[in-house]
Amino acid sequence: MGYRILLRDHRGLLSIAFLAMFSSSLGQSFFIGLFQAPISARLGLSAGQFGTAYALVTLAAGFAMLRAGPLLDWVAPRRFALAVLGGLLTGVALLTLSPWWLLGVLGLGLVRLCGQGMMTHLGNTLAGREFESLRGRALGLTGMGIMLGETLLPPLMAALLVWLGWRQLWWLFALVLALLWVPLLLRGPWPAAPGQRPVRGERRHGPRPFREARFWQLLPLLMILPVTMTGLFIYQARMTEDLGSSLAVYALALTGMGIAKLPGALLGGRWVDRLGPVRLARLYLLPFALALALAITLGGHLGIWALMVGGGLAMGAQESIATSLLVRLWGAEHLGTVRATLSAAMVFSTGIAPALLGVALDLGASFSHVLIGMLAFLVIGWMLAQGVLASPEARGCDAIPG
């Protein structure tokens, strides 16, 4: 019933948040990875040089999120969305049209910042701040925008490449997104600016998460999935070889992961509203922990399927749990600042994690040892977060009727 009420009474605002999440696909690794070879060729970069440039612009986008993300706490959301969309389209133009590699790399950075970074930030912050009793469900619905992109775009782009070049595909997708945004920007039910702009020179009020011990205690728990799943994606060939499986099985299991995200998002959102984010934060990683244990002990095709499906269930639920938990601890009025800080930390960690895993594999570690390390990281992160989850601020009124 909660989802029906949301779709009936708040279709416009949900459409804005959902489209923001779907628009983030243009800057997501899965989409850019489809065109890595032609982009590298156009910019005159080798595969290694492209990887280095990609890591650098991703880290730069993380730092930019720390400055630009908190603006959503006082800038009108429609104005914010217009600026982000403009930056995203500018990035596409630079990446596809610039004759100089440096401007092309700058375009790639804008696509990463405004796509994966700011569009995701906009969608999650709107859904997390503008809904109260049905916040979990709203976040679950809007999160399906990314799932739609992950499921629909790879086969669609592969099919269209038969008739169009990669640049024409980017222009077409950017044009479709712009046309989808126009009616919402003109007539959408946009909320007003949530707060007052800080006076220049005045001492800043509000949270500074990097200076709070509870943020650092909570951070490993929320970073487990992005860090570990990034490692599994990047080192898929080594993982399938060491576990005695194949890349064909992995490709099928990826589809299973996409399907598993749907019940993860819908059930996770519903349970957040009924049980509260604190209880769910203690439990939602259990499917992934069991998957890691199965992969370590049994390996083979079953291990690959367990990792993808268990990871999909947990990833589908994470966003509604994490954002609701941030609102519980820091308040909806500061959600833009805290979410931007969390997003930046995740960007930094997912940029560093593949390098650390690569060093471990180069030193002779098997992928089973890597999975044991991931499971240990999960357990340590869960234990570190317990003090914050047991605090009076987190417990609050942990069950919301509905």
Predicted TM-score of the model (pTM):
0.81
Structure tokens at 297: 């002990």
214 burial (CB, 10 Å; 0-12 / 13-18 / 19+) is middle
Q: What is the DSSP string of 253-306?
A: HHHHHHHHHHHHHHHHHHHHHHH-HHHHHHHTTHHHHHHHHHHHHT-HHHHHHH
Can you read off the two tokens belonging to residue 61? 């986008």
- CATH code, 1-191: 1.20.1250.20
Identify the CATH homologous superfamily for domain 209-395. Answer: MFS general substrate transporter like domains (1.20.1250.20)
Per-residue pLDDT tens digits for 155-171:
888 888 888 888 999 99
Domains 1-191 and 209-395 share a fold: yes
Report pLDDT digits (tens) over 56-111.
888 888 888 888 888 888 888 999 999 999 999 999 999 999 888 889 889 999 99
Rounded to whole angstroms, how far apart are CA atoms 355 and 362?
A: 10
Domains of the chain by residue range = 1-191, 209-395
The yes-or-no verdict on residue 203 having pLDDT over 50 is no
Q: Is the four-CA dihedral 181, 193, 84, 228 of positive or negative sign?
A: negative
Q: What is the pLDDT of residues 83-93, one digit of tens each?
A: 999 999 999 99
For tokens 């938990």, name the residue.
325
pLDDT given for residue 400 in this prediction: 41
Tens of pLDDT, residue by residue over 350-396, are 767 777 777 788 888 888 898 999 999 999 999 999 988 888 776 66
pLDDT-derived band of residue 47, with 50, 70 and 90 as boundaries?
low
- Residue 91 burial by CB count (10 A; 0-12/13-18/19+): exposed, middle or buried? buried
What are residue 102's phi and psi, to 5 degrees?
-65, -40
Contact 140, 268 (CB under 8 A): yes
Q: Which residues contact 196 (CB under 8 A, 6 or more apart)?
A: 74
Cβ-contact 251, 375 below 8 angstroms:
no
